[in-house]
């Protein structure tokens, strides 16, 4: 194996200046798109919700479009680094992914995440979470410039493309695909894989909590009655 040339898999490889605390922090923050992908896969495996699957499909489509745009534009990165999986930097894939996720999430909070009561606490919770994803997108965008992986024009272009695709994909899912979710969930393959449609449930967390608590109490009563016999 000594004569074989080795190449690093640089998809998650991030460099920062030695001793630069800010650079180290931004390098960690720039891994946020990877964390989002892992989160998507985890949610799909454990929740199997059609809307989550469609959200993830949009994120994958966003990445494919980014690769196509990079190869069409062919603009190099501001700093040459050996081992990068692509030498092109326009538009920034990190910026595009984060702004796709942020724009889709904000629209989801506004139009899909409807609670039973519109209390001030719930409204503030939505605002805080929406602001959080936007701030995270800004930090990742800035980190790519600070660490010289992209120029400002590249991250801004990625942000614009991400917002357009995020809003567009949300409109497709919300207006076109969601009405077909009940039919899709009834397909035999979806029933075998336990893929479900929760789009008509206003508060899925409260729904699952109350049903789990009711089921747990019913089983406890059944066990108690069996023991008493």
The pLDDT tens digits for 182-200 are 888 889 998 898 888 887 7
Q: Note whether residue 3 is domain-resident.
A: no
Note whether residue 6 is domain-resident. no
Band of the pLDDT at 61, cuts 50, 70, 90? very high
- Residue 72 CA from chain centroid, whole number: 25
For residue 204, being part of any structural domain is answered with no
What's the mean pLDDT when you consider all of the chain?
Answer: 84
In the structure, what pLDDT confidence band is assigned to residue 228 with cuts at 50, 70 and 90? Answer: low
CA distances (Å), 127 to each of 41, 136, 152, 170, in order? 26, 14, 28, 19
Residue at 180 is within a domain: yes
Between residues 207 and 62, which one has the greater pLDDT? 62
Three-state SS at 79: coil
Whole-prediction pTM: 0.83
Tally the residues of the chain: 229
Containing structural domain, residue 181: 21-197
Q: pLDDT digit string (tens) for 16-50?
A: 788 888 888 888 888 888 888 998 899 889 888 89
Give the residue with greater pLDDT, 77 vs 62: 62
- Give domain status of residue 212, yes or no: no
Q: Count H helices, E strands: the chain?
A: 9, 0
What are the angstrom distances between the C-alpha of 42 and each of 11, 47, 196? 20, 8, 16
In the DSSP assignment, the letter for residue 88 is B
> Between 63 and 78, where is the model more confident?
63
Cβ proximity of 181 and 199 under 8 Å: yes
Q: Is residue 228 part of a domain?
A: no
Q: Is residue 224 part of a domain?
A: no
188: helix, strand or coil: helix
Separation CA 208–CA 226 (nearest Å): 27
Alpha carbon 176 to chain centroid distance?
Answer: 21
Reported as a pLDDT band with limits 50, 70 and 90, residue 76 is: confident
Peptide bond preceding 194 in cis form (omega within 30 of 0)? no
- What is the predicted pLDDT for the residue at 214? 84
Token pair 């995020």: residue = 166
Most confident of 162-166, 174-178, 221-225: 162-166
- Number of domains observed in the structure of the chain: 1
Share of the chain above pLDDT 70, in %: 87
Query: 92, 97, 52: which is closest to 76 by C-alpha?
Result: 92
Instruction: Show the tokens assigned to 215.
Output: 């089921």
């Amino acid at each position: 194996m000594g004569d074989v040339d080795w190449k690093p898999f640089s998809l998650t490889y991030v460099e920062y200046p030695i001793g630069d605390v800010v650079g180290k922090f931004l390098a960690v923050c720039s891994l946020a798109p990877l964390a989002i992908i892992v989160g998507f896969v985890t949610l799909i495996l454990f929740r199997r919700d059609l809307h989550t699957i469609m959200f993830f499909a949009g994120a994958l489509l966003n990445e494919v479009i980014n690769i196509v745009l990079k190869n069409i534009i062919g603009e190099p990165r501001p700093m040459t680094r050996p081992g990068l999986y692509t030498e092109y930097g326009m538009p920034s894939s990190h910026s595009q992914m984060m702004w796709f996720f942020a724009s889709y999430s904000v629209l989801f909070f506004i139009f899909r995440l409807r609670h039973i009561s519109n209390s001030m606490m719930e409204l503030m919770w939505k605002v805080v979470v929406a602001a959080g994803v936007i701030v995270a997108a800004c930090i990742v965008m800035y980190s790519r410039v600070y660490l010289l992986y992209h120029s400002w024009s590249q991250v801004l272009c990625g942000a614009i493309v991400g917002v357009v695709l995020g809003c567009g994909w949300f409109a497709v899912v919300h207006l076109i695909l969601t009405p077909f979710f009940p039919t899709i969930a009834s397909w035999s393959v979806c029933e075998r894989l336990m893929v479900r449609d929760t789009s008509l449930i206003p508060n899925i967390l409260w729904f699952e909590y109350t049903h789990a608590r009711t089921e747990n109490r019913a089983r406890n009563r059944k066990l108690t009655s069996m023991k008493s016999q």
